[in-house]
Amino acid sequence: MPTWFIPHGGGPCFFMDWNPPRAWDRMADFLKGLAATLQAQPRAIVMVSAHWLEGSFSVTCSTHPELIFDYHGFPPHT
């Protein structure tokens, strides 16, 4: 399976009001098309983040993991 580095931009970048308004459209189109480039459906996804503070190396494992928010100061609609 391929390995991708996918930057998340400015937090909830796809839900912010930008100038120009369509600033993130190319990234959104790229992400929407990723699944079609795979030869098979993945059975698991490994996501690595440097945005969470822990006292030691930690791993979260779940078939339906909760969303972890590590940012703040963005508009409520995001």
Q: What is the pTM of this model?
A: 0.62
String of DSSP letters for 4-68: -----TTTTGGGS--SSTTTTHHHHHHHHHTGGG-SS--S------S----SS------SSPPP-
CA distance 19 to 9: 15
Taking the domains of the chain in order of start, what are their residue ranges? 1-78
| pLDDT value of residue 78 | 76
Digit-coded pLDDT (tens) for 10-68? 667 888 888 898 988 988 898 899 999 999 988 888 877 776 677 888 787 888 877 76
pLDDT-derived band at 1 (thresholds 50, 70, 90) equals confident
pLDDT value of position 20: 92
Tell me which residue of 3, 10, 2 sits closest to 75, measured CA to CA.
Answer: 10
